[in-house]
Structures are given as C-alpha cells and as structure tokens.
C-alpha cells in the first residue's frame, strides 16, 4: 500500500507554474530520489507535501488519508518529518534539547516519554558526544546530522531530506550516507532531493526527474542517469 | 449645522495628526523601524523652535525654517550612530533603545525647561479665522491641514520621482542588492530619519502654536501618529492622511458629546478599524 | 598584466569553507566562463569579487589595485557591475527605475544609456512602466543585465544567467552578448549551461568543491575532460 | 552470545551551583519571613516596594524575554487590578485579601479581549497597541464616578482595619493596625514574589517552556516540528496579565489611595520595570532579581535629583541594550557559567560499554 500518493498536484505563482500536474506514488519503506536543475520546482514539491504551500489542484494522500488541505503542523503530527535545505537548528538550545522539542511536540508526547528515544537517535546519527553542547557550536556536517536527527525525533512515517549532502567533503558525505542507509534499512520511507548524485544513487531505489515543475522521468537510478533527458539537463550540451 | 462644524474641525485636527504620523510612516516604510521616541522628538523640536523664536527674536515660521536643518542633523546622527546598531532580526533592541531614548529626551527637557507648559505665540494669527459659507474656520488649523497635504505631496514626489526616492525603495526591498548598485544602506537610513525629523519640525510648529505643550506630552503624540498610520494602512502616505482625519473627526465628535471623551473616542475609532480592517483602510502591502 | 585577477582567493561561511585558494584572470576585452556543478563555489567567487563577501585586500586585483576588502558600493563605483544570481530586481521599482538605479553609484557616461539598453532589448521599452518583477523570467534577466550596463562598467559579472530559463529564451539573451563585448566590457560569466558558456567564452574555468579543476580555451576542452572536472569521476 | 545492557540515560537540570543556591535561597526565605521580628517599618515598606517591583519585572520578562511579546502597556493590568480590588472592597464590601485574588482573575479576563486586538499587530506595533489599550482602560475608569472618577478615591479605614488577618497579625506582634498592615502586606508581597518566580521556573522546566524557548530561537523551525507558537504566546499573555493584576491590587491595598493617572502611570509601572529587566538581564529569571536590586540602589542614591534620575536610568538602559544585551546577569553567567535557575536539560548516564555487538538487538 502506498504511504504517499500525489495525483495531478499543481501550483502556480502568478505567471510561473512551479508544479504542473505532478503524480507519483511512494511505497511503504521505499526510498525515492528527486533530481532536476535549479529552479525545477523540487523544494516547492516538498513544501506541497509538508503543507507549507497549498496546492491549487490535485490531491495528496498520506497513509491512506487525504491531507491536501491539512496545515503543516497536523501533517507533522500525522508523520511527515522534514529536514531543511539550509539547517535551521535552535542555536541556543543544546543538541539534546533540539531533539526533545521535536520529539515532545512532533510526536505529541511528554518530555519524559521521548527522552530515551532522543538519546538513541543521537547515538544513531553520531551526535551523542555533542548532546549537551548548544546547537550553535556545531559544524556543517553536524548541523546536517541534527536536521536528520530532529526529523527522526518527530517519529515520522515519511522522512523528507532536502539536499542534505550539499557542501560536504567526500568523507563527510560518505558517513552521512551510511547513516541514511541504516535508517532506510530500519524500514523508514524516504524522499530525498539531492544534487550530489553519487550519494543519492547509493541509497534510493527509484529516481524521479523534475524540470519546470513537471515529472519528465522516473525509474531505476542507473536507467534514469543514462537517459538522454537527464544528460541534456545536467550537461546542457546535445550529447 | 453643528455637526458640519465638528466634521470640519475634525478634518483640520486630522491634518495635525497626519503631520505627526508622516515621519513615522516614512521611516517604517524604509527600514521597518518604529521609533518609540517619535512623539518626544516632536516635543524636542517644539522647544527648539520656542528657543530660536525667543532668543533670536524670530517669527515662529522663520524659527521653524531655521530649526529644520538642525533637526535633520539630529535625526541623521541619531540614526547613523545609534539606531542603525539596533537594526536586525531581533525586535527587542530597537524597541528598548528608542523607549530609553524617549525617557532620556523627556527628562532632559524637564531638566532644561521644567514642567511648565509653554506656547509658541504667532500673535494675531492665533485667533484669526476665515468664514467659509456658514462655518468660520481658524487660520492656523487651516494652515496645519494645508501643510500636511503639502508634506505628503512633497514626500510622495521625493519617494516616487527622485533618484534618492528610488534608493529608499530599493534599499527597503533588498539592502544587499542595493549595495551592488552603489547604495550605502547605513547612509540611506540616516538620510531617511533626517527627512523624517524635518517633517517632525513642521508638526512641532503647529503643535506648539495650537495648544500648550510641556516635556511630558510626547507619548500621547506618538500614539496619535501610530493610530493614524495603522488606520491608514502601512506604508501609504495618503493613507496616513486619511488615518489622521479619521482620528481627528472621532476626537471632535467625542469632545462634542463630552469633553472628557475626546481622546477616548479617538482610541475607540482606532480599535474599531483594527477590528474590521486589520490591515488598515488603504493597505499598500508593505510586508 | 590582467585587468581583473583573483590570487589564492579563500572564502568561508562561518565554519564552512567554500573556496580553497582560487586563481583566475581576465584580460581587457576578454570573456571568460566559469562552469561547475551546483555548490562548487561559483556564486561565492562572484560574491567575493563584487564585494558582497569581503575578503583579504590582496585576494582580488583590479587594474593592479587591491580591491579584495572593499564593500560592494566601492567596487561598482570603480567599474565592476554585477548581474546577481536570481536577477534580484527591485519589486517596488518599475522596469525603467530598475535600469536607472544601476547608475546610482557610478553615473559615468559611455555607450550605455536608457536608449541604447532599449535598443539592445527592445521589449523593455514597451514594458518600462511595469513593476520590475511582473515580467517573464527572460525579460527580468534582460532588465538585470541592462541595469548593470547602465553604469558603463569596465567589467561585467554575470551569475547564472540561464538559471530557470527556457532554452529559446537563453539563446535570445546570449545573442546580445556580442554587442555588449563590442561596447568594450570584459565579462566574467558563471554558467550551469555549459553549451552556451563554451560558445561565448574565450577561456573557460571549471570548478568543483571550491577549487579550479580545469582551465583552457573552449576548443581544446573535450567532453570527457569536462565530465571529469564537473563530476570528479571519469 | 554476550548480553547487551540497554543504555541507561538520565536527564538532569540541577547543577552544583544551583544546588547550593537552593539551600541559600531557603535560608533567605526563612529569614525574610522572620523579618518583621527585627526589621523596622520603613525597611518593611522598602522591601514591599522591591518585592512588588520584582513581581512586575518577572511578569514583563516572561512576556518580552520568553514569549517575544514586547508590551509597553502592562500598566493596563496594574491599574485594572487595583481598581477591581477597590471596587470589590468599597462597593461589594469584600475582605481586601479576597479582593486581591479576584482582581487578578479580573485582569486575566480583561486580557482575553485585549489579546484578540493585540495579536493582530506585530513587534513595535504590538508594543504601541498595548499602550493604546492601557490608555483606553485608564480613560474608561476615569469615568467611573463611584470610584472618584478622574481624581480617584481612598480605601475606607475600616476596610483594612477590620480585616481578620490584620487582627491576627496585630495580636501576634502586639502592634496597632497600621503597623500590622505593613507586616501583612509585606508577607503577601513575599508570598507573591516566591510564587511568581516558582511558577515561571516551573513553566521553563516544563514542555511548554521548552517550546517557548524553541519559538524564541527560530519560530519557523519550531512550527515545522509541531510547536504552536500562537497558542503558547496567548497563554503566556493571559498568565502575565493575572500576575500583573494581582501585584497591582496588592500595591494599592498598601497605598490605600488610587487615581487613574497614578494607577496607569507609564513611568512607574512600565519604564521602571523595563529598565529593571533590561539592566538585570532579559530572558533569565536571575536577571530581574539583579535588576531590582540595582534599581533600588540607584533610586536611593539619585532619588532627590529629580528628573536626572530617570535620565540616567534611560542612558544606562540604552548602553546596556546596545553593548550588553544580556544585561548584568548575562555578563556574569557568560563568564562563570553559573546558573541559579538552571533550565538546560543535560543528558547523562549513557551506553554501558557494549561488550560485543550482537545480542537481542542485532
């Protein structure tokens, strides 16, 4: 049963169409990658799924329930966990407290109930030794890990990752990919927007190609990468 | 006929409140900064005009002209050296610094001029009035409204017709890209506050000649200016004039019912508009 | 001696280092293109040259003078104008006002004026009273270029001109570049659309993860070399 | 197959410094309650002033420092609480103690409609809007002839003299009613101050307190993980109105004389309170405590210099806001890392060194 199903979802900003009848389904526990040039509407698609932007047309069904009109907070409680493209930690709170907020409010529980789970997530995402440090003191890789950890703390059933590997060195990227792969292996459904293709393709089972808000390609990673459209978009030369 | 007279007096009073509000609206439109000491700066300008008029023996209107460049300099320096430091995402610094400034100006004036109430006398002009049809209208209130309209037309011309006006709007839209055009945001903000202080000087002239004033009446003027700006709609200068007039009329009607209700009526009009049209009567989508 | 040069340019955002010692050079009358994947540091390079990101004095040289530490207003006054990524027109200014404000910091007379910009992009003369941002992406790009030209710059920095534009519109805009060059401006162009960049540039630099990985004339850059320099994998 | 112990985590907030402080504070409180035994009447009256200003400062700090709601109109609730108490005592003949409590509730009720208006405004406009509402309440109450209209009125002597609590205290200390009144109001102020600080601290250590801190840090990110900023800010606004109204009523039981201009004075109830919080350290519980002490010292030193006093207070406030935005306590805490009211949730314990991978968790 699909955990998420978009059918003909469209959205327009004045004359600009940012989402043009987008339709796809995500299976339970599946990992889907989304690629496309800048300005193709990838982040907009995320905002449509999280509810930060409302769709002009089409429907979004999450976990069997229609959420097209549901505000962001309710979607978060329903299990849509999201990480920001540019990390947005609570700088003055400690790393552990960042997770406590997400766990307590995101999953609608008391602090005591989520404390244990948050500690385990810190271990899982390699942040345990920074637990009591203010999030403002974290390096870029650690901030990206915190985005991931905070989304996990809301006990999501769908994890949305927005260019989380961007700006990392080769080594840092590898470590983050291992963490994401482990989370995926644990049964988490993931949708991941990414430019760092080798990182993305080492985790996701399917790739969706987006350009000018339209789905122009879908399939197994290596098939999609070999396709003419992708080459043209990325390299710009008629190959 | 009495109610027609009340409306006319209300409109003329609205001119004074629009003058209070024009400077506030200009500065907010450009840098989203509300100066809680705005009312006290009006009182400061009134005392400056009073001193220039009495010490140099000048006619108050000339004294006001002399005071304008001085107030521009005060405004420019205040923004460049103090208020620019408070601009940023945190809303606390600008509020608390300008609140402190309001207390400092009030008590500085109290120390300098004691709490006695003063008045800038314009001689015969004070009581002169014109008969327009059945209504006779005071010359000074008429001048106040005329000045308010002139100021708003002038500011609009400056804003929409001049290179400086373009720089104001560009900096308000996107200070970083404005830098790429050669604009220096810190100086532009200082110039904007300087111009706002020139408008404050005009407002102070009519405040000081129309009624008694003393160092503690600043906050009340800030509130009328704020109400006019909110009723008019953020960032629209003509809206500010309309807002001032709405407050003026509400106050004159309130006073007509019971003198003690004048100010209360103005506030209630403000709350009513806030209830019905939270974005003001003529919102120009500033934020 | 190059007109514009960066020497071991380093840039960082907080603890994230974006540029690891970049050296590029632009001669008088030349057009160079800088290509590279997203996040390779291209825009950071442009922001460092244009003064949005302030750097070490000696990191950027213009006509031999050290301008690395100067803020943006001083740099545009010296004759380096920028077409920023994402165009960044001023919403509360009309098309014509957006063009006029380009001269605010450097009102130097030269080839470019309102009339010559309207000749370069005729559609803008019709739309000059519209608000800057009520135009199509391509038209906005024309205004952004015109705005930079209005200061008659000696160096024109163009950041991601083809971003989010349809191929036909990109061709239309690039058609104007020969006339821009002819008017005397040397050009530094950051571009994701390699095809366009290779056609216009005299020399090309390729960047990956904050370093120059390849440079040379377009003719001797094969697709394989570009692919390797672009993705870091053969 | 080696047995793997599940990591045992513990969450603590107490620190060494706060533990010792807790003992010191307990002693101080006992001493404070015993003060009437040895302190003179004028000392008690000064302590009453310090404690009531501290309660107002903690409430304003809760609003501006924690919920980001900068109100310049809290005098509305002080005045309204005081007038509600006067009305209940004079018109309804209630015992002042009960009247104080009801006055607090009345202020919280007033806060509901005012919140409805104010929450339509943001930042600086919220601040001035709160000032307008205070003016509306002041002008409206100035029309209430039964309570002396614009000139105000006084509490009838017997209203306070016949208070059962007052007779009790009078008997206990063997003093006449006016001195017993000072002792009683002092104790009430002490109780109110302890309760206010206690409740604010409990809020900060609660889930709501953590949510508030997240909203203050990054509202967008807080909303994306499910924190409803608007509802939380409204609750804090109502709570602050209750605390402020209560303090207003207590202050005017001691003053026993009220007028609209005094009860709604911007300087006495808003300017002084803002400076106490800003100079002490906004956004901390310790800040207002330090601030009210500094404020009291300045007042005794400069009181007879008239407007110079407020001028200097204003200048200090500006300088601190610009150069040390976290106030005197902020500077101290930054250097020493000491927190008397620690709020930070520390994770301790941790994974017992795992003997070997494997076992039930694979």
- Mean pLDDT to the nearest integer, B50-66: 93
| Residue B97 resides in a domain | no
Distance CA B221, CA D128 (A): 12
Domain identity same for A168 and A143: no
* Whole-number Cα distances in Å, B263 to B256, D71, D137: 12, 21, 12
Distance CA D210, CA D216 (A): 10
Q: Is the pLDDT of residue C233 over 60?
A: no
Return the residue of B nearest to D306 by Cα: B111
Q: Is the pLDDT of residue C2 over 50?
A: yes
Distance CA D257, CA D301 (A): 27
> D31 or D13: whose pLDDT is higher?
D31
Share of chain C above pLDDT 90, in %: 62
Distance CA B168, CA B159 (A): 7
The two tokens of residue C68 are 């690395």
Q: Find tokens 């203010």 and name the residue.
A: A134
Distance CA B172, CA B26 (A): 11
Which range in A95-99, D160-164, D172-176 is most confidently predicted, on average pLDDT? A95-99
Q: Is the pLDDT of residue B171 over 90?
A: yes
Residues 6+ apart with CB under 8 A from D305: none
Contact A191, A161 (CB under 8 A): yes
Q: Find tokens 């403002």 and name the residue.
A: A136
The domain total for chain A is: 2
The answer to whether A108 contacts chain C (CB < 8 Å) is no
pLDDT digits (tens, 9 = 90+) for A18-69: 888 899 999 999 999 998 876 678 888 888 998 888 888 999 999 889 998 8
Residue D6: DSSP 8-state:
P
Contact B151, B22 (CB under 8 A): yes
Return the residue of C nearest to A197 by Cα: C231
DSSP string spanning B48-102?
HHHHHHHHS---HHHHHHHHHHHHHHHHHHIIIIIGGGG-SS-SHHHHHHHHHHH
Share of chain D above pLDDT 70, in %: 94
Residues of C in contact with B166 (CB under 8 A): 93, 97, 100-101, 104
The two tokens of residue B104 are 């400092």
The answer to whether A72 contacts chain D (CB < 8 Å) is yes
CB contact under 8 A, C195 and A237: yes
| Residue B45 resides in a domain | yes
Domain identity same for A188 and A148: no
Q: What pLDDT sits at residue A174?
A: 86
Contact B167, B183 (CB under 8 A): yes
User: In this complex, which of D139, D274, D322 lies closest to B264 when CB atoms are compared?
Assistant: D139
Q: What pLDDT sits at residue B287?
A: 36
Contact B118, B214 (CB under 8 A): yes
| Residue A22 resides in a domain | yes
CATH superfamily of C4-89+154-231: P-loop containing nucleotide triphosphate hydrolases (3.40.50.300)
CB contact under 8 A, C195 and A238: yes
Domain identity same for A212 and A171: yes
First to last CA, chain B: 43
| Residue B155 resides in a domain | yes
Q: Is the pLDDT of residue D6 over 80?
A: no
Last residue of a domain, one of A155, A177, A197: A155
pLDDT digits (tens, 9 = 90+) for B151-161: 999 999 999 99
Q: What is the pTM of this model?
A: 0.84
Residue-number span of the structural domain to which D289 is assigned: 8-351
Residue A104: DSSP 8-state:
I
Domain identity same for A186 and A74: yes
**A235 pLDDT tier (thresholds 50, 70, 90):** low
User: In this complex, which of D217, D228, D351 lies closest to A90 when CB atoms are compared?
Assistant: D217
What is the number of helices (H) and of strands (E) in chain B?
11, 2
Share of chain C above pLDDT 70, in %: 96
First to last CA, chain D: 11
Neighbours of D237 (CB within 10 A): 22
**D14 pLDDT tier (thresholds 50, 70, 90):** confident
> C37 or B83: whose pLDDT is higher?
B83
CB contact under 8 A, A100 and D210: yes
Contact D107, D248 (CB under 8 A): yes
Neighbours of C139 (CB within 10 A): 23
Contact C190, C46 (CB under 8 A): yes
Q: What pLDDT sits at residue B122?
A: 86
Residue D109: DSSP 8-state:
H
Q: What pLDDT sits at residue A15?
A: 66
The interface residues of chain A toward chain C in range 4-43, judged by CB-CB distance below 8 A, are 14-16, 37-39
pLDDT digits (tens, 9 = 90+) for D180-235: 889 999 999 999 999 999 999 999 999 999 999 998 888 888 888 888 888 889 99
Distance CA D298, CA D295 (A): 5
Chains that touch A (3 or more CB pairs under 8 A): C, D
The domain total for chain D is: 1
CB contact under 8 A, A132 and D347: yes
Domain identity same for A130 and A179: no
According to DSSP, the residues that pair with D350 across neighbouring strands are D8
Return the residue of A nearest to D217 by Cα: A90
Residues of C in contact with A197 (CB under 8 A): 231
Residue-number span of the structural domain to which B186 is assigned: 7-88+138-276
- The distance of A112 to chain C (nearest Cα, Å) reads 34
Residues of C in contact with B174 (CB under 8 A): 88, 90
Last residue of a domain, one of A104, A128, A155: A155
* Whole-number Cα distances in Å, B52 to B20, B58, B73, B216: 21, 7, 16, 21
CB contact under 8 A, B176 and C76: no
DSSP string spanning C116-140?
HHHHHSTHHHHTTTSBTTSS-HHHH
Q: What residues does each domain of chain C span?
A: 4-89+154-231
The two tokens of residue B215 are 């160092």
**A233 pLDDT tier (thresholds 50, 70, 90):** low
- The distance of D124 to chain B (nearest Cα, Å) reads 6
Domain identity same for A147 and A189: no
Residues of B in contact with C92 (CB under 8 A): 169-170, 172-173
Residue-number span of the structural domain to which A110 is assigned: 90-155
pLDDT digits (tens, 9 = 90+) for C114-150: 999 999 999 999 999 998 888 888 899 999 999 999 9
Domain identity same for A131 and A30: no
Q: What pLDDT sits at residue D305?
A: 84
Pick among A14, A39, A44 to test the C interface (most C CBs inside 10 A) = A39
Distance CA D233, CA D242 (A): 14
Distance CA A69, CA D333 (A): 47
Single out the residue of A236, A229, A211, A36 nearest to residue C192, CA to CA.
A236
Last residue of a domain, one of A113, A133, A155: A155
What is the CATH number for D79?
A: 1.10.3470
CB contact under 8 A, C233 and A198: yes
Distance CA A49, CA C99 (A): 39
Task: Specify the 3-state DSSP secondary structure of C7.
Answer: strand
Q: What pLDDT sits at residue D350?
A: 67
The answer to whether B177 contacts chain C (CB < 8 Å) is yes
Q: Is the pLDDT of residue C225 over 80?
A: no
The two tokens of residue A23 are 């339709």
Distance CA B106, CA D309 (A): 12
pLDDT digits (tens, 9 = 90+) for A183-222: 899 889 999 998 788 888 889 999 998 887 888 888 998 8
Task: Please indicate whether chains B and A are in contact, defined as at least 3 beta carbon pairs under 8 Å.
Answer: no
- The distance of C91 to chain B (nearest Cα, Å) reads 7
Contact D184, D169 (CB under 8 A): yes
Residues of C in CB contact (< 8 Å) with A are 14-16, 18, 37-39, 134, 136-137, 160, 163-164, 166, 192-196, 198, 209, 223, 226-227, 230-231, 233
- The distance of C107 to chain B (nearest Cα, Å) reads 10
The answer to whether B96 contacts chain C (CB < 8 Å) is no
Torsion-angle region of residue B182: left (phi > 0), alpha (psi -120 to 50) or beta? left
Q: What pLDDT sits at residue D120?
A: 85
Q: What pLDDT sits at residue B286?
A: 41
DSSP string spanning D33-92?
HHHHHHS-HHHHHHHHHHHHHHHHHHHHHIIIIIS----S-THHHHHHHHHHHHHHHHTT
Q: What pLDDT sits at residue D354?
A: 40
| Residue B190 resides in a domain | yes
Distance CA B111, CA D80 (A): 32
| Residue A33 resides in a domain | yes
Single out the residue of B185, B92, B111 nearest to residue D310, CA to CA.
B111
First to last CA, chain C: 35
Neighbours of B12 (CB within 10 A): 23
According to DSSP, the residues that pair with A125 across neighbouring strands are none
The answer to whether B102 contacts chain C (CB < 8 Å) is no
pLDDT digits (tens, 9 = 90+) for D122-148: 877 888 889 999 999 999 999 899 888
CB contact under 8 A, B179 and C151: no
| Mean pLDDT of all residues belonging to chain D | 88
- The distance of C65 to chain A (nearest Cα, Å) reads 32
Domain identity same for A50 and A103: no
DSSP string spanning D147-201?
GTGGG-EE--HHHHHT-HHHHHHHHHHT--HHHHHHHHHHHHHHHHHHHHHHHHH
- The distance of A56 to chain D (nearest Cα, Å) reads 22
- The distance of A231 to chain D (nearest Cα, Å) reads 35
CB contact under 8 A, B103 and D306: no
First to last CA, chain A: 39
Contact A178, A151 (CB under 8 A): no
Distance CA D119, CA D109 (A): 16
Return the residue of B nearest to D133 by Cα: B267
pLDDT digits (tens, 9 = 90+) for B1-54: 678 889 999 999 999 999 999 999 999 888 888 899 999 999 999 999 999 999
Task: Specify the 3-state DSSP secondary structure of C105.
Answer: coil
pLDDT digits (tens, 9 = 90+) for D29-69: 999 999 888 888 899 999 999 999 999 999 999 999 999 89
Q: What is the largest CA-CA distance in chain D?
A: 87
Q: What pLDDT sits at residue B269?
A: 92
The two tokens of residue B41 are 């700066």
The domain total for chain B is: 1
Q: What pLDDT sits at residue C226?
A: 73
Q: What pLDDT sits at residue A234?
A: 61
Q: What pLDDT sits at residue B274?
A: 83
Q: Is the pLDDT of residue A227 over 90?
A: no
Residues of C in contact with B169 (CB under 8 A): 90, 92-93
- The distance of A158 to chain D (nearest Cα, Å) reads 14
Single out the residue of D275, D279, D296, D295 nearest to residue D287, CA to CA.
D279
CB contact under 8 A, D225 and A100: no
Q: What pLDDT sits at residue A223?
A: 87
**D149 pLDDT tier (thresholds 50, 70, 90):** confident
| Residue B29 resides in a domain | yes
- Mean pLDDT to the nearest integer, A1-29: 86
> C226 or D295: whose pLDDT is higher?
D295
Helix (H) or strand (E) segment spanning residue C33: strand C31-36
The answer to whether A110 contacts chain C (CB < 8 Å) is no
Task: Please indicate whether chains A and C are in contact, defined as at least 3 beta carbon pairs under 8 Å.
Answer: yes
Pick among C51, C75, C86, C92 to test the B interface (most B CBs inside 10 A) = C92
Distance CA C86, CA D95 (A): 69
- The distance of B163 to chain C (nearest Cα, Å) reads 7
**D156 pLDDT tier (thresholds 50, 70, 90):** confident
- The answer to which of C36-50, D203-217, D342-356 has the lowest mean pLDDT is D342-356
CB contact under 8 A, C91 and B172: no
Distance CA A209, CA C176 (A): 32
* Whole-number Cα distances in Å, B183 to A188, B163, B177, C101, D195: 51, 11, 9, 9, 54
Return the residue of A nearest to D216 by Cα: A90
Q: Where are the beta strands (DSSP E) in B128-180?
A: 129-132, 135-138
Chains that touch B (3 or more CB pairs under 8 A): C, D
Return the residue of A nearest to C41 by Cα: A167
Residues of B in contact with D274 (CB under 8 A): 96, 99
User: In this complex, which of B99, B111, B270 lies closest to D132 when CB atoms are compared?
Assistant: B270
- The distance of D217 to chain A (nearest Cα, Å) reads 6
Q: What pLDDT sits at residue A238?
A: 42
User: In this complex, which of B96, B260, B278 lies closest to D317 when CB atoms are compared?
Assistant: B96
Residue D292: DSSP 8-state:
H
ipTM entry: 0.80
- Cα-trace Rg, chain C: 17
pLDDT digits (tens, 9 = 90+) for C50-91: 999 999 999 999 999 999 999 999 999 999 999 998 899 999
Return the residue of C nearest to B186 by Cα: C73
CB contact under 8 A, C82 and B183: no
Q: What pLDDT sits at residue C230?
A: 67
| Mean pLDDT of all residues belonging to chain C | 89
Domain identity same for A68 and A167: yes
| Residue A45 resides in a domain | yes
- Alpha-helical segments (H) within chain C: 42-50, 72-78, 95-101, 114-120, 123-126, 137-149, 167-174, 177-182, 194-200, 223-231
């Amino acid at each position: 049963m699909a955990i998420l199903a978009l059918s003909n979802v469209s959205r327009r900003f004045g004359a600009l169409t940012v989402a043009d009848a987008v339709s796809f389904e995500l299976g339970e526990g599946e990992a889907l990658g989304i690629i496309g040039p800048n300005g193709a509407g990838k982040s907009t698609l995320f905002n449509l799924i999280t509810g930060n932007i409302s769709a002009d047309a089409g429907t979004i069904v999450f976990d069997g329930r229609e959420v097209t009109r549901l505000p962001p907070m309710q979607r978060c409680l329903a299990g849509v966990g999201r990480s920001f493209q540019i990390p947005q930690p609570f700088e003055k709170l400690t790393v552990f407290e960042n997770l406590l907020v997400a766990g307590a409010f995101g999953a609608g529980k008391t602090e005591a109930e989520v404390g244990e789970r948050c500690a385990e997530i810190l271990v899982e995402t390699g942040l345990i030794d920074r637990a009591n440090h203010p999030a403002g003191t974290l390096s870029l890789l650690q901030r990206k890990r915190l985005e991931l950890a905070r989304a996990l703390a809301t006990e999501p059933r769908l994890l949305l990752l927005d260019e989380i590997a961007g700006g990392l060195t080769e080594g840092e990227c590898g470590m983050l990919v291992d963490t994401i792969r482990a989370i995926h292996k644990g049964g988490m459904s993931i949708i991941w927007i990414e430019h760092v293709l080798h990182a993305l393709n080492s985790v996701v089972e399917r790739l969706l190609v987006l350009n000018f808000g339209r789905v122009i390609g879908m399939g197994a990673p290596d098939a999609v990468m070999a396709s003419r459209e992708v080459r043209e978009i990325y390299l710009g030369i008629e190959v | 006929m009495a109610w027609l007279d009340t409306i006319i007096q209300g409109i003329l009073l609205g001119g004074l409140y629009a003058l209070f509000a024009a400077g506030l609206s200009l500065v907010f439109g450009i840098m989203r900064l509300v100066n809680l000491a705005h009312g006290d700066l009006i009182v400061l300008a009134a005392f400056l005009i009073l001193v220039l008029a009495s010490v140099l023996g000048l006619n108050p209107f000339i004294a006001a002209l002399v005071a304008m460049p001085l107030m521009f300099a005060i405004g420019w320096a205040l923004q460049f050296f103090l208020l620019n430091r408070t601009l940023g995402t945190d809303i606390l610094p600008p509020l608390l610094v300008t609140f402190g400034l309001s207390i400092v100006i009030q008590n500085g004036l109290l120390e300098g001029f004691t709490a006695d109430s003063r008045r800038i006398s314009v001689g015969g002009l004070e009581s002169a009035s014109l008969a327009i049809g059945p209504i006779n209208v005071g010359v000074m209130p008429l001048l106040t409204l005329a000045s308010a309209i002139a100021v708003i037309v002038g500011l609009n011309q400056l804003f929409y017709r001049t290179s400086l006006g373009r720089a104001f709007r560009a900096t308000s839209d996107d200070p970083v890209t404005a830098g790429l055009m050669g604009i220096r945001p810190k100086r532009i903000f200082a110039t904007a506050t300087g111009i706002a202080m020139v408008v404050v000087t005009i407002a102070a002239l009519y405040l000081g000649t129309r009624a008694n004033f003393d160092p503690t009446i600043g906050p009340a003027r800030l509130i009328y200016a704020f109400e006019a700006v909110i009723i008019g709609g953020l960032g629209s200068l003509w809206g500010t004039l309309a807002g001032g007039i709405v407050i003026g009329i509400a106050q004159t009607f309130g006073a007509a019912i019971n003198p003690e209700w004048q100010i209360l009526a103005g506030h209630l009009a403000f709350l009513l508009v806030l209830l019905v049209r939270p974005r003001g009567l003529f919102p120009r989508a500033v934020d | 001696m190059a007109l514009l040069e960066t020497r071991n340019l380093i840039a960082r955002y907080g603890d994230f280092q974006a540029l690891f010692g970049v050296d590029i050079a632009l001669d008088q009358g030349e057009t160079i293109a800088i290509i590279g994947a997203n996040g390779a540091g291209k825009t950071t390079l442009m922001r460092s040259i244009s003064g949005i990101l302030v750097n070490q004095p000696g990191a950027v040289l213009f006509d031999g003078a050290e301008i690395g530490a100067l803020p943006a207003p001083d740099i545009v006054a010296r004759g380096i104008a920028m077409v920023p990524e994402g165009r960044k027109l001023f919403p509360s200014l009309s098309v014509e006002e957006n063009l006029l404000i380009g001269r605010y910091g450097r009102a130097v007379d030269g080839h470019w004026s309102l009339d010559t910009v309207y000749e370069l992009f005729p559609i803008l003369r019709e739309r000059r009273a519209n608000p800057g941002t009520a135009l199509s992406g391509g038209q906005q790009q024309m205004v952004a270029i015109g705005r930079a030209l209005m200061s008659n710059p000696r160096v024109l920095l163009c950041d991601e001109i083809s971003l989010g534009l349809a191929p036909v519109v990109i061709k239309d805009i690039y058609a104007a570049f020969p006339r821009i060059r002819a008017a005397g401006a040397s050009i530094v162009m950051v571009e994701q659309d390699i095809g366009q960049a290779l056609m216009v540039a005299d020399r090309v630099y390729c960047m990956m993860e904050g370093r120059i990985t390849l440079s040379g004339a377009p003719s001797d850059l094969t697709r394989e070399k570009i692919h390797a320099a672009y993705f870091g994998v053969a | 197959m080696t047995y793997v112990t599940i990591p045992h985590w513990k969450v603590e907030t107490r620190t060494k410094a706060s533990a010792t402080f807790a003992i010191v504070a307990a002693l101080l409180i006992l001493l404070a309650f015993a003060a009437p035994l040895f302190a003179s009447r004028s000392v008690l009256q000064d302590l009453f002033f310090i404690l009531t200003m501290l309660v107002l400062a903690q409430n304003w700090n809760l609003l501006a420092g924690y919920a980001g709601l900068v109100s310049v109109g809290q005098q509305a609730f002080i005045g309204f609480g005081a007038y509600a108490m006067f009305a209940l005592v004079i018109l309804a003949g209630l015992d002042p103690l009960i009247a104080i409590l009801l006055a607090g509730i009345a202020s919280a009720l007033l806060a509901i409609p005012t919140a409805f208006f104010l929450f339509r405004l943001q930042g600086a406009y919220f601040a001035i809007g709160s000032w307008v509402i205070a003016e509306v309440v002041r002008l409206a109450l100035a029309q209430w002839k039964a309570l002396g209209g614009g000139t105000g009125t006084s509490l009838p002597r017997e209203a306070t003299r016949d208070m059962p609590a007052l007779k009790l205290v009078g008997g206990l200390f063997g003093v006449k009613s006016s001195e017993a009144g000072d002792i009683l109001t002092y104790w009430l102020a002490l109780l109110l101050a302890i309760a206010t600080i206690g409740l604010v601290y409990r809020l900060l250590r609660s889930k709501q307190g953590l949510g508030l801190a997240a909203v203050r840090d990054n509202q967008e990110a807080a909303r994306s993980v499910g924190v409803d900023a608007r509802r939380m800010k409204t609750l804090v606004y109502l709570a602050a109105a209750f605390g402020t109204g209560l303090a207003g009523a207590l202050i005017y039981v001691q003053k026993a004389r009220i007028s609209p201009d005094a009860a709604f004075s911007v300087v006495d109830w808003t300017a002084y309170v803002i400076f106490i919080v800003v100079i002490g350290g906004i956004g901390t519980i310790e800040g207002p405590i330090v601030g009210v002490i500094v404020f009291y010292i300045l007042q005794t030193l400069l009181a007879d210099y008239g407007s110079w006093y407020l001028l200097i207070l204003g200048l200090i406030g500006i300088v601190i806001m610009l150069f040390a935005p976290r106030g005197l306590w902020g500077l101290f805490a930054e250097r020493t890392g000491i927190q008397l009211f620690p709020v930070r949730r520390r994770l301790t314990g941790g994974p017992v060194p795992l003997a070997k991978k494997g076992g039930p968790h694979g």
